[in-house]
Amino acid sequence: MKKIEKILKTVFAIILATSTLTSCGTSAPNESYSRETTSSTFTSKITLTSDVTTTSDTSTTSISTTTSETTTNTTTAKSTSKRSKTSKSTTTSKSTIISIDEGKDKDNANAGKSTFKDTTAMKIVKDMKIGWNLGNTLDSVHWETGNNLPTKPSAFETAWNNPVTTKKMIDTVKAGGFNTLRVPVTWFQHLGAAPDYKINKAWLDRVQEVVDYGIDNDMYVILNLHHENWHFPSKQNLPSAKAKLQKVWGQIAERFKNYDEHLIFEGMNEPRMNDTPEEWNGGNAEARDAINQLNAAFVNTIRKSKGNNPKRFLMIPTYAASPWSNVTSSMKIPNNDKRIIVSVHSYEPYHFALDTGGVNKWSKSKKEDTQTIDYVMDSLHKTFVSKGIPVVMGEFGALNKNNLSDRVAWAEYYVRAAKKKDITCIWWDNGSFSGSGENFGILNRKQNKWQYPEIVKALMKGLK
């Protein structure tokens, strides 16, 4: 009994001390912990260390992850060198359990600088191995406009019929063998007026939360601007596009300044002459020059920002992210920056991989089926990789035409051809599986399971 009394006294002493610290505006010691979420009830296990952080801010931030297909969500969060976390403790007279809030410093104001690995762009791209796109999600454009736009981030995230993204989904992607997560994001519906173009805080918070799903899985995460027609590449539009791009990326850079090399910024997605005859045909000299200038504005904005951004690895696109030599030959690397990665997209051969009305058969034994893939990889290697400039195939895939075996064979061949030329590929998954559109989905997000595990297996086999 005495032992029990001793233990109880010790427990009550800890609770009292913690309560006093909290009421004085002093946070609990740094903790590494696991968070379990069940129907919005939080239970946390903590391990105390000897470090104590003081702050005058007694407010806490609590983030819950929701999903349309389940009411129970379990997430594991851990402190890593990739980003900094702060956590505060609270007590209650009804329980002896110490509960921990989310612990994510949303505005980055109190985050300490994390360790940034001393490596090269070529080594980073090699370590990225293979990736998966969270397509048609944070890049969705809502059908409402102006004052009718919704206020909740989830309304945008689900506008194109994909469910709210959860940590469990990204856990599944990581478990499938993918080491890179590309997070396409559309920003224009979340910006304030010129000249500041202030990003809506709730939206930026949600973007950060999804980014962290990948970071907490030890994945590389690519964050970009997607579906932004305001940066139309023309001489006339260049001044306003450049000013807006600098303001938007300046805010993103500030929010993520303390993330390490696992976070990569991608300046634009497929910048092109929208709704013109030249849109998908390489553009013209004026458009390609404008994109070079926009890429330079992006790189200079990040390099002038704080934290780890002066040395962050950055991806910049060619015109329309085209891999063809008539476009790549005119691309310029800003300031001869050695931490630049070229971003291209290629769905080849077109009539099999992207054309909804094209063919559904493909064979590695037929030269006409493989030669375009081989040409693209050879050309990119000659233009960039052989000169020490790494390349990421930011989007690729073969849409579903009820031809699983052909897609499996194609996926393995494509990734293997890219790997031979030191190019990392990222599958475009838009969450679509049926209908007459572009059905590139391989992960059934509503059920959180692979719809086509055979394709996933083929992608991984292509890496060997």
Q: Which one, of 450, 396, 452, 399, lies nearest residue 423 by Cα?
A: 396
Q: Which helix (H) or strand (E) holds 155?
A: helix 153-157
Q: What is the DSSP letter of 313?
A: -
**Torsion of Cα atoms, 157 then 160 then 164 then 166, to 10°:** -100
Q: Which helix (H) or strand (E) holds 17?
A: helix 2-23
Q: Kindly give, in sequence order, each residue whose CB lies less than 8 Å from that of residue 37, ignoring residues fewer than 6 positions away.
A: 64, 65, 72, 73, 74, 75
Q: Where are the beta strands (DSSP E) in 225-362?
A: 263-266, 314-317, 340-345
Compute the distance between CA of residue 383 and CA of residue 440 in angstroms, rounded to an integer: 29
Handedness of CA 439, 443, 447, 452 (dihedral sign): positive
Handedness of CA 290, 292, 296, 298 (dihedral sign): positive
Q: Which one, of 266, 270, 232, 233, lies nearest residue 249 by Cα?
A: 266
Q: How far is CA 272 from CA 137, 222, 225, 279, 325, in A?
A: 22, 20, 13, 6, 16
Active site residues: 270, 395
Half-sphere exposure of 82 (CA within 13 A, CB side): 21
Compute the distance between CA of residue 442 and CA of residue 172 in angstroms, rounded to an integer: 12
Compute the distance between CA of residue 315 and CA of residue 321 in angstroms, rounded to an integer: 11
Q: How far is CA 377 from CA 122, 269, 277, 389, in A?
A: 16, 20, 27, 14
Q: Kindly give, in sequence order, each residue whose CB lies less than 8 Å from that of residue 59, ignoring residues fewer than 6 positions away.
A: none
Instruction: Please report, in angstroms and rounded to a whole number, the separation of the first and last CA atoms in the chain.
Output: 62
Helix residue spans in 337-432 (DSSP H): 350-353, 367-383, 404-420
CB atoms within 10 A of CB 301: 21
